[in-house]
């Protein structure tokens, strides 16, 4: 009886947490459906299917709005379960803090600006002969740019001096790959990190409205 009551209370607590961040869990549900759909495709069809929803140079030049939205609804391989953890730790916390509209604005800004700047850098590299022309069709889907922006904006939710340790850890996480063996995706992650930090105006004083007992989230990895 006691066990049943404990399970029931845990279930109510989980449901209350999910309801407090509706945008996060609607997005996770979409990712679950699209991931299941991908697992039912042949590898060849899957790659072509994702390429048409990719924010590569070819698709961005033809259907920019469509692919910017569609690319954030798919995971390029891998499991859906790690995203449940990442979304619950970072996205849900940010949405509960900022509200759905402001949280979504951070996600959109990070996703769009990081995509455009990283693809712009790739276009320049192709023009300068530093990257092959085939790179214009490179597969580029996923949710990591939006996640990076949200990880960064959560800096403002943490009370000093813990804020500076969290900021240093996140900065190292996104800077080291860019310095060690940079790719255009690494550049995009770094840009989205900076965009998240630049979203301070959306915080609107909410950095002071928090539960001091809550601990800082750890960077994804």
d(CA 124, CA 130): 8
pLDDT at 48 over 90: no
Confidence of residue 98 (pLDDT cuts 50, 70, 90): very high
Q: E-assigned strands of 88-217?
A: none
Query: Token pair for residue 105?
Result: 């604005």
Quote the mean pLDDT of the chain: 88
pTM: 0.86
Q: How many CA atoms lie within 13 A of 29 on its CB side?
A: 7
Q: Are 107 and 146 in contact (CB under 8 A)?
A: yes
Average pLDDT for 47-52: 87
pLDDT at 111 over 80: yes
The DSSP annotation for 17-46 comes to HHHT-HHHHHHHHHHHHHHHHHHTS-HHHH
Average pLDDT for 155-164: 94
Residue spans per domain, the chain: 2-208
First to last CA, the chain: 39
Residue-wise pLDDT for 118-132, tens only, equals 999 999 999 999 899
pLDDT at 212: 38
Nearest to 155 by CA among 142, 179, 174, 178: 174
Q: How many CA atoms lie within 13 A of 145 on its CB side?
A: 31
Q: Which CATH superfamily hosts domain 2-208? A: Rhomboid-like (1.20.1540.10)
Residue-wise pLDDT for 176-185, tens only, equals 999 998 899 9
Query: Token pair for residue 123?
Result: 């276009």
Peptide bond preceding 161: is omega within 30 degrees of 0, i.e. cis? yes
- Count the Cβ atoms, other than its own, within 10 Å of residue 59: 22
Confidence of residue 215 (pLDDT cuts 50, 70, 90): very low
Quote the DSSP letter at residue 207: G
Q: How many CA atoms lie within 13 A of 213 on its CB side?
A: 0
Nearest to 76 by CA among 115, 31, 107: 31
């Amino acid at each position: 009886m006691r066990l049943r009551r404990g399970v029931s209370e845990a279930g109510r607590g989980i449901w209350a947490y999910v309801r407090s961040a509706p945008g996060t869990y609607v997005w996770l549900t979409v990712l679950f459906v699209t991931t299941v759909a991908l697992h039912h495709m042949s590898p060849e069809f899957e790659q072509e299917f994702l390429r048409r929803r990719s924010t590569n140079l070819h698709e961005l030049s033809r259907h920019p709005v469509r692919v910017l939205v569609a690319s954030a609804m798919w995971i390029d391989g891998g499991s859906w379960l790690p995203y449940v953890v990442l979304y619950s730790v970072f996205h849900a916390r940010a949405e509960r803090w900022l509200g759905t509209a402001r949280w979504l604005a951070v996600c959109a800004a990070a996703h769009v600006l990081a995509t455009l700047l990283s693809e712009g850098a790739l276009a320049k590299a192709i023009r300068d002969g530093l990257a092959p022309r085939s790179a214009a069709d490179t597969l580029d889907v996923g949710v990591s740019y939006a996640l990076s922006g949200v990880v960064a904006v959560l800096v403002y939710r943490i009370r000093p001096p813990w804020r500076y340790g969290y900021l240093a850890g996140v900065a190292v996480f996104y800077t080291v790959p860019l310095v060690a063996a940079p790719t255009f995706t690494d550049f995009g992650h770094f840009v989205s990190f900076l965009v998240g930090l630049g979203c301070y105006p959306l915080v609107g004083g909410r950095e002071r409205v928090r539960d001091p007992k809550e601990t800082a989230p750890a960077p994804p990895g």
